[in-house]
Structure 1
Amino acid sequence: MPRRPTPEIICTRLQKAVDEVVMPHIPLEDRYIRTYPEMLSDFAQATKDGWTAERVVECIKLVYTWMPTRGELRIDMNVAEQIATELNIGIDTDRLIKLASELAKNSMVSGSKFLHFYDPARFPITDSWLQELSGKPDPYYRVDYYLDYKAGVHLVDEPHALRAQEWAERAFGYEVHRTRAIEAVAFYLIKAGWHHDTTALA
């Protein structure tokens, strides 16, 4: 069994993705690209107005428009109250991640999206495609795996980050923060069938 990827290995995989991605000639078109600026705007307005449990619920429901949902969306209102308080302070990254993972369906995937729209510089999005980079424990993607993935994204060097941002501007038709650009390069490549080199974990 291979060992778990470190943030440094995750960073290497992300940089390889940036090296191999093809610069698009025209913007891509999908609902994620189309709705992304609106999601950022909705979350920015919530931050400006001040977070409440009710606003947290509204915004996590928006997040689930980006995700397939099976069954009823159960939101923990106690967690919604706690994360609203933390979002208004905005300082304790580890606590925000823990609470976001517990907010709806104990999902770190939805939690990562929620936090990204709240602060796109600090929190990268993860999903079932991107978990290939950091490993996917069974049955759920855990907070500690997300922390390693987040660290790996932030370790990406400036030349790779700038190339990812150039790719994203061409692919999306608008500028995004380096965190989003790096994650998006890997997402679209992996979804198209790209595989990173696993020899580093042998």
Structure 2
Amino acid sequence: MNHIIHLNALLQNVVNTYDSTKDIYVEMYKYYTNFFKEKDILTESDVVIGVGFTYSWMPTILKNLNLSKLDRVTSILNNVKQGVEISDDDLLLLKEFSNNSLVGASKLLHFINPEQYAIWDSWICKQKVQYKLSYIFINFVLIIKFFNCFVIQ
């Protein structure tokens, strides 16, 4: 329980000291989330455009876009838009689609449904873990939802 109190204090400090008016990512964020929010149904074009602008939030460029299963990826992301939780297999397909990057997939998921999916940062991915990354990501999302109750009021 001590760790939760400490983490809550750290997160609260970030909330209290962060100046969002000086962050270009904050400015871009509303356009990215609105792009998906304004659409009732995502098309394959929307998905490709979305993964393209998702990579403007990343330190690497999009080098590999696997379009072979674009119809399935589009179906998964339409489900995400409707609030349906994805399976491990779906997450791995989204990872494969988006430059074989879990970070890229998580950012795309977040832009489509920010209330349900947190961004999985590359720092987290670099940590030594003994579990499947998809399992850790889903649990990370649950932890973020839990802390949102305390930090973002």
Q: Of 70, 74, 77, which residue of structure 2 is paired with 1:84?
A: 74
RCO (CA 8 Å, sep 6+): is it higher in 1 or 2?
A: 1
Give 3-state SS (helix, strand or coil) of 2:119's partner: coil
TM-score for the superposition, normalised by structure 1: 0.60
Give 3-state SS (helix, strand or coil) of 2:152's partner: helix
1:31-76: per-residue Cα shift (whole Å, max 9, x none)? 211101011111223x32x222222111100100111225x62111
Q: Of 38, 53, 77, which residue of structure 2 is paired with 1:62?
A: 53
CA distance in 1, matches of 2:34, 2:24: 16
**Matched-pair contact (CA < 8 Å) for 1:9–1:152:** no
> Structure 1, unaligned stretches of length 5 or more?
1-7, 163-202
RMSD across aligned positions (CA): 3.0
Q: Share of identical aligned residues, percent?
A: 22
Q: 1:9 to 1:96 in 2, by over 3 A?
A: farther
Amino acid corresponding to residue 79 of structure 2 in structure 1 = I
CA distance in 2, matches of 1:125, 1:68: 14
> Structure 2, unaligned stretches of length 5 or more?
none
2:111 aligns with: 117
User: Aligned residue pairs: how many?
Assistant: 147
Amino acid corresponding to residue 100 of structure 1 in structure 2 = L
1:194 aligns with: none
TM-score for the superposition, normalised by structure 2: 0.77
Q: CA deviation at 1:14?
A: 4.4
Amino acid corresponding to residue 115 of structure 2 in structure 1 = A
Q: CA deviation at 1:26?
A: 5.4
Amino acid corresponding to residue 82 of structure 1 in structure 2 = R
Q: CA deviation at 1:81?
A: 1.7
1:124-171: per-residue Cα shift (whole Å, max 9, x none)? 012124x18xx7248xx9222212211211222633331xxxxxxxxx
Q: 1:156 to 1:26 in 2, by over 3 A?
A: closer
1:145 and 2:144 aligned: no
